[in-house]
């Protein structure tokens, strides 16, 4: 709360600057309040009184408080932009010519297609793709993550961001974004709000608010001659006060702040949205496409058990599996060694003279050749059988099938002795482990009416087993880029909005087709150009958080709209009887709040109308608490909490204000 008060005090000058009519005309509701403030100011100068001056002051404060909500929201973004600018430094780039020569040029002069050399300790001068080399990169200036990451040429983790620092080795980077158009520049522009446009939903709500404003304007304009005819003529100050209290000033003042705060929450989780439409679409998403590897599962298959072939001792299989994997530095190889040690194997190195045989796509095997002529291999069952020159035993084939059906990966262990005689020793069960808590998160999404679909290149049996364990609603096995596109289009034809993540060039078509396409910052330039969001942390599970932020934005906007419209009810009971009680004394029965005088009733309603904006600024910036629930449940909660609260709170607030106002000379009884 203290932080918010500090921010409000800091942004107060900006709120005054926003009193410029050229800014306020974008919000018809607040622009009309501004015009009313001007009208009452003229009336107060012409015929000053405690009532007229008080109404005028509070109408100006209403406009100012609305501006303050927007200014505080924008101020948070500007503070983030300042820290991002600190990360952007003027650097010299080592431009690489076609003949291999280098020349130093300012980073601002780099154009798309230029190649630059970056070595350990140097800052990458611009966004680009690594075309040569591999390096450890410190991305903390962009992502806030202190742990360095590996970026290399030729894969889906080749993209680097300008302003990050190379920690080791030498790389050649091909520039993909000109100066002023880098991700850092786009992020600065986004958090400052300079590139923010109203979303379709926000535009539609603005049109609704403008329509309601016109309706109430016509009603108040019609009321003036009717009041005069009834013998209770109303001056301009009272009519303006009535109009301001009738139109939805609360949501009109907070609407922009809600949108800016929603974008701010997205930036705080290190996601760069290319448009506000994407954030809003995230709140309406009904189908989530998620990669299996790295998103639903850890992606590093782990050895979970060793199953010996008939006639083979468990100890023999254990020790042979360990020998075959001692020099295998892949996560799978290390997990086999760990499993063998956990089962009691001796922790000693390979015998002298042993030669490790690396895995190749052609052989589909790896292993070790011992000095005594013994050869050990582990790999696909068909590859091991071909290497041994024997048929795979039926019992081993059944084990392989059982592991495959369970969603695991079977690695068969084979051995040849020095005479060339081959034996199948058993099977290693590799399992892709589902991340903790994923099933629970998918259950929450299901409660919100969102379908989760797992995308994988695995066969259907493996995909089915992982999908069942993770708790997703559907899966797409052996998926190709064409399959992903077809699935997205099928979902969209049914009226669903689709979100997906991707990092490779082959993901680009699907990212472009999805309503919310989240590209990984570590991925290729093609993927980032195709998506409408970029996750700077390159965390595929971030998509779930993005959907929750989008839904929180829509829920907050709906809740405060409900409150704004509902709290007008109390103002009717305060102002309408006060205006006509002289002509029609029986209307005093509608004075259910027992307000002191007509003037104190009108002023109390105007004061409450201004103060409620200030009271709701923290909620607009923080957002209504998100709970996983269906749209029906959310609507019911909004009506009960914010609808009913919007009716009850003003009755209490206006009565308390009236108790204070009625003590002012000239306004009390």
Domains and CATH numbers, the chain: 1-80+191-266+547-662 (no CATH), 92-190 (2.70.150.10), 271-296+435-536 (3.40.50.1000), 298-433 (3.40.1110.10)
Residues sharing a CB contact under 8 Å with residue 594, sequence separation 6 or more, in sequence order = 655
Exposed, middle or buried, 353 (CB in 10 Å: 0-12/13-18/19+)? exposed
534-551: string of b/e by CB count within 10 Å (b at 16+)? bbbbbbbbbbbbbbbbbb
pTM above 0.75, yes or no: no
Sign for the CA dihedral angle at 534, 538, 543, 546 comes to negative
Q: Are 491 and 513 in contact (CB under 8 A)?
A: no
pLDDT of residue 53: 93
Is 366 assigned a ligand-binding role in the annotation?
A: yes
The residue annotated as part of the active site, out of 291, 432, 515, 535, is 291
How confident is the model at residue 26, as a pLDDT?
Answer: 81
- Say whether 359 counts as a known binding-site residue: yes
Q: What is the dihedral of CA 11, 12, 13, 17, to 10 degrees?
A: 100
478 a known binding residue? no
The half-sphere exposure of 181 on its side-chain side, counting CA atoms within 13 A, is: 10
Burial (CB count within 10 angstroms: exposed 0-12, middle 13-18, buried 19+), residue 411: buried
pLDDT given at position 44: 92
**Can you give the pLDDT at residue 194?**
45
Tell me: is residue 416 an annotated ligand-binding position: no
- 138 carries an active-site annotation: no
What is the rounded CA–CA span in Å between residue 602 and residue 648? 18
Place of tokens 């408080």: 65
How are strands ordered across the β-sheet holding 134-138? Answer: 149-152, 134-138, 165-166
Tell me the residue length of the chain.
669
284 is in an annotated binding site: no
Contact 174, 117 (CB under 8 A): no
- Report pLDDT for 198: 63
| pLDDT reported for residue 270 | 81
Judge contact between 73 and 261, C-beta under 8 A. Answer: yes
Q: Does 40 show up as a binding residue in the annotation?
A: no
38 phi/psi in degrees, rounded to 5:
-65, -45
Q: Give phi and psi for 305, each to the nearest 5.
A: -165, 160
515 a known binding residue?
no
Mean pLDDT, consecutive 10-residue stretches, the chain (669 aa), reads 61 83 85 93 91 93 88 67 56 85 85 90 86 84 64 77 84 84 64 56 81 87 81 84 88 83 80 76 86 74 87 90 80 86 83 79 80 88 87 87 80 88 90 81 83 83 83 87 86 87 78 86 75 80 83 88 84 76 72 80 90 90 78 80 88 90 73
CA triplet 461, 463, 466: central angle to 5 degrees?
110
- Contacting residues for 546 by C-beta, under 8 A, at least 6 apart: 266, 269, 271, 282, 499, 516, 518, 533
The residues, ordered by sequence, that sit 6+ positions from 68 with a Cβ below 8 Å of its Cβ are 8, 11, 12, 15, 614, 617
- Report pLDDT for 509: 84
CA distance 109 to 107: 5
Q: Is 362 annotated as a binding residue?
A: yes
Both tokens of 56, joined, read 């005028």
Show the tokens assigned to 109: 């002069």
Q: Is residue 14 part of an annotated ligand binding site?
A: no
Instruction: Quote the pLDDT of residue 115.
Output: 92
Q: Which two tokens stand for residue 530?
A: 């195709």
């Amino acid at each position: 709360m203290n932080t918010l008060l500090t921010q409000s005090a800091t942004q107060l000058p900006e709120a005054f600057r926003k009193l410029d009519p050229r800014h306020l005309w974008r919000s018809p509701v607040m622009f009309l309040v501004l015009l009313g403030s001007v009208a009452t100011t003229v009336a107060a100068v012409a015929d000053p009184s405690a009532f007229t001056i008080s109404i005028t002051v509070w109408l100006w404060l209403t406009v100012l408080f609305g501006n303050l909500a927007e200014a505080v929201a924008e101020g948070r973004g500007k503070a983030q932009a300042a820290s991002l600018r600190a990360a952007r430094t003027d650097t010299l780039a080592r431009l690489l010519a076609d003949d291999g020569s280098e020349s130093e040029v300012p980073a601002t002069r780099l154009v798309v297609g230029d190649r630059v050399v970056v070595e350990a300790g140097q800052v990458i001068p611009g966004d680009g793709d690594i075309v040569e080399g591999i390096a450890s990169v410190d991305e903390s200036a962009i992502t806030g993550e202190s742990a360095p990451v590996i970026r290399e040429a030729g894969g889906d983790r080749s993209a680097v961001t300008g302003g990050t620092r190379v920690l080791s080795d030498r790389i050649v980077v091909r520039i993909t974004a000109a100066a002023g158009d880098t991700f850092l520049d786009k992020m600065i522009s986004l958090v400052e709000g300079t590139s923010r446009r109203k979303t379709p939903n926000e535009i539609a709500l603005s049109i609704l608010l403008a329509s309601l404003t016109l309706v109430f304007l016509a009603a108040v304009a019609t009321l003036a001659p009717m009041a005069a005819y009834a013998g209770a003529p109303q001056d301009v100050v009272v009519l303006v006060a009535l109009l301001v209290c009738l139109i939805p000033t609360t949501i009109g003042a907070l609407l922009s702040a809600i949108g800016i705060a929603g974008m701010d929450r997205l930036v705080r989780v290190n996601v760069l949205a290319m448009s506000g439409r994407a954030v809003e679409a995230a709140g309406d998403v009904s189908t989530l496409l998620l990669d299996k590897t790295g998103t639903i599962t850890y992606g590093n298959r782990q050895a979970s058990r060793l199953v010996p072939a008939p006639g083979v001792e468990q100890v023999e299989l254990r020790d042979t599996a360990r020998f075959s994997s001692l020099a295998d530095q892949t996560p799978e190889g290390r997990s086999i060694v760990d499993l063998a040690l956990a089962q009691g194997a001796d922790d000693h190195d390979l015998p002298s003279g042993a030669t490790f045989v690396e895995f190749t796509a052609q052989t589909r095997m790896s292993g070790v050749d011992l000095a005594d002529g013994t050869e050990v291999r582990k790999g696909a069952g068909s590859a091991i059988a071909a290497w041994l020159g024997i048929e795979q035993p039926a019992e081993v084939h059944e084990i392989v099938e059982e592991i495959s059906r369970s969603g695991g990966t079977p690695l068969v262990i084979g051995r040849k002795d020095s005479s060339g005689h081959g034996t199948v020793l058993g099977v290693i069960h590799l399992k892709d482990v589902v991340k903790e808590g994923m099933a629970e998160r998918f259950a929450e999404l299901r409660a919100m009416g969102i379908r989760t679909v797992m995308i994988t290149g695995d066969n259907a049996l493996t995909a089915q087993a992982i999908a069942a364990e993770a708790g997703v609603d559907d899966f797409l096995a052996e998926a190709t880029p064409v399959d992903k596109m077809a699935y997205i289009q099928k979902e969209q034809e049914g009226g669903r909005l689709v979100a997906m993540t991707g990092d490779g060039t082959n993901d680009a078509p699907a990212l472009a087709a999805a309503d919310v396409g989240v590209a990984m910052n570590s991925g290729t330039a093609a993927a980032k150009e195709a998506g409408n969001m970029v996750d700077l942390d390159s965390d595929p599970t971030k998509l779930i958080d993005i959907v929750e932020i989008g839904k929180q934005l829509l829920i907050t906007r709906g809740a405060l709209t409900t409150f704004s419209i509902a709290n007008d009810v109390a103002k009717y009971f305060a102002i309408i009887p006060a205006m006509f009680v002289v002509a029609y004394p029986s209307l005093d029965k509608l004075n259910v709040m027992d307000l002191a005088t007509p003037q104190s009733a009108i002023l109390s309603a105007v004061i409450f109308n201004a103060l409620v904006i200030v009271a709701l600024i923290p909620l607009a910036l923080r957002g209504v608490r998100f709970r996983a629930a269906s749209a029906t449940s959310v609507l019911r909660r909004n009506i009960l909490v914010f609808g009913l609260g919007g009716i009850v709170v003003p009755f209490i607030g206006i009565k308390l204000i009236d108790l204070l106002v009625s003590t002012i000379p000239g306004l009390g009884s």
